[in-house]
Amino acid sequence: MKTTTTRKILAGLNYSGLDRLYQQLDAELGVLLTFHHVHPRLPQAFSPNAHLAVDPEFLSEIIRVLRQRGFELVCMDEVRARIQSPERKNRFAAITFDDGYRDNLEHAIPLLREQRVPYAMYIASGMIEGTANVWWEGIEALVRENTSLVFDMSGQEVELDCSNLAAKQSSFVKLMDYLTEELPENLQRSFVNTLCSQYEVDLEAHRERQLMTWDEIRQLAADPLCTIGAHTVDHPALARLTEDDASSEMVNGADVLAAKLGRKPDHFAYPYGYHQAAGPREFDLARKAGFKTAVTTRPGMVFAEHANYLTGLPRISANGLYQEKRYFAPLTSGLPTRLRSRMRRLDVA
């Protein structure tokens, strides 16, 4: 329902030309885009993580739209330089990928190389080494493959109906809310592991299929177009940890990348990146850890005022539910996110 409304608003802005008019008036410096999976679309009715995957054609379309609209595609070092000395140049756009999925290597990187587009890849070392996994995809598999799930939720036996599409969708949301809001971060993994082994979902095999190996990441790191950034060790919602634990996750994740790749990462992405996962305390910790920039998933454009908030930068998601030019193009004008944030430029509190 919400998706349908948003699509209508975006398409309306596109047809009216209002977004292009607005773009000529506003003073944003550029935009950072978030990608996760890139692969051909899978025809699946129950697909609760579909927003995290775009097909390669849509990535091409995005690059085309950005160039048509006068954006220069730049790396994260250049993003930082342009925020720090914001002379009026062309607007910039930066392409960023979170987590290091193998499909990026197969479907996105060749395309970016062909088009000479710089990109950043944020790696959580534990997801590569198996101390963390893609648990939200494990939950998706559990709900897809079963008609009901019975398990212990905070000492109470609970049964979740997964017998039809609507039931699956609501059960997925319930489980995700429980895992991200109620259960402490340090218990999340054991809960998911227990549930997955109870219902024979092999999370470790899934992780191995989905994530790149260190060898593959090293190949990428050698590409002059690629910036490898840090993304913690075990991909926690940092704001739900103690300050010491949050700090260790950030620092240790960067140290592992330095050891594996021979170069300390200068840039960082907060896992999940939304308000409840990363806030002002984390922005401070990222600065203290020495990162030159750190990116959230708070939607918005980048302005000169972000010079004081280089570790709290907004990004716009290349969202799999909006894979059409008429939905994406207006986002590059900054108008939709400004409307959403009641015309505020900064969202850093």
Footprint of Zn ion (CB under 5 A) = 98-99, 271
User: 135-145 and 203-210 helices cross at what angle (nearest 10)?
Assistant: 120
**E runs forming strands in 48-91:** 53-54, 72-73
Taking the least distance from each CB to Zn ion, the nearer of 233 and 335 is 233
Residue 36, both tokens = 């996760």
Taking the least distance from each CB to Zn ion, the nearer of 28 and 98 is 98
Taking the least distance from each CB to Zn ion, the nearer of 272 and 309 is 272
CB-CB neighbours of 279 under 10 Å: 18
Q: How far is the CB of 231 from Zn ion (least distance, A)?
A: 6
Distance (Å, rounded) from C-alpha 134 to C-alpha 206?
8
Q: How far is the CB of 266 from Zn ion (least distance, A)?
A: 18
Query: Which residues 6+ apart lie within 8 Å of 152 measured at CB?
Result: 158
Taking the least distance from each CB to Zn ion, the nearer of 124 and 348 is 124
Q: How far is the CB of 98 from Zn ion (least distance, A)?
A: 4
Q: Are strands 293-295 and 267-269 parallel, antiparallel or unpaired?
A: parallel
Taking the least distance from each CB to Zn ion, the nearer of 123 and 329 is 123
Distance (Å, rounded) from C-alpha 232 to C-alpha 238?
9
User: What are the C-alpha distances in Å from 306 to residues 218, 233, 295, 311, 349?
Assistant: 31, 27, 11, 9, 13
Distance (Å, rounded) from C-alpha 211 to C-alpha 214?
10
Return the SS3 of 284. helix
Q: How far is the CB of 348 from Zn ion (least distance, A)?
A: 20
Q: How far is the CB of 66 from Zn ion (least distance, A)?
A: 23
Taking the least distance from each CB to Zn ion, the nearer of 265 and 330 is 265
Taking the least distance from each CB to Zn ion, the nearer of 99 and 137 is 99
Taking the least distance from each CB to Zn ion, the nearer of 99 and 103 is 99
> Phi and psi for 272 in degrees, rounded to 5?
65, -50
Residue of 4, 46, 7 lying closest to 330 (CA atoms): 7
Contact indicator for 28, 301 with CB cutoff of 8 Å: yes
Taking the least distance from each CB to Zn ion, the nearer of 98 and 185 is 98
Q: Closest CB to Zn ion belongs to which residue?
A: 98
Per DSSP, the residues of 158-179 read EEEE-SSHHHHHHHHHHHHHII
Q: What is the chain's length? A: 349
Q: Which amino acid belongs to residue 13?
A: L
